[in-house]
Amino acid sequence: MKAHHLNAREQRLLEETERQLTGDRRLRWRLRLLGGACRLRHVLAAVLPGRWVLAVAALVSLVLLITGIATGSPGVIWAFAICWLVTWGVVLRAAYRWATTHLGSDDRRKPYV
């Protein structure tokens, strides 16, 4: 954003503020919600913290696995299969979040292609 009526110091402060706001993930998320782009994954990300979801999904998967082996019930086996997929989705999401927060864009390794 160029504001021609600002002096050099004010322009520099404005650009720095815009740069900080551009990198704010929570602000982008809130603005998307206000814009009407409310999707299920955004709502779930706001409501459920990542570590707890991962722990609960893994625990439920383990319980369903043991119950499915013990009973052999098709319903429990299908419930385990669905929960197992959800658990891996949560694991991959957590791994992606960890990688983006701990490995900046400058620190990422380039592929060996």
- pLDDT digit string, tens, across residues 1-38: 555 688 889 889 888 888 888 888 887 777 777 665 45
Query: How far is the C-alpha of 63 from the C-alpha of 66, rounded, in Å?
Result: 5
What does the alpha-carbon distance between residue 15 and residue 8 come to, in Å, rounded to a whole number?
Answer: 11
The domain ranges of the chain are 1-38, 48-113
Rounded to two decimals, the pTM is: 0.49
CA–CA distances in Å: residue 58 to residues 63, 91, 96, 101: 9, 9, 18, 23
8 Å CB contact between 55 and 43 = no
Mean pLDDT of the chain: 78
Burial (0-12, 13-18, 19+ Cβ within 10 Å), 71: exposed
Q: What is the pLDDT of residues 71-84, one digit of tens each?
A: 999 999 999 999 99
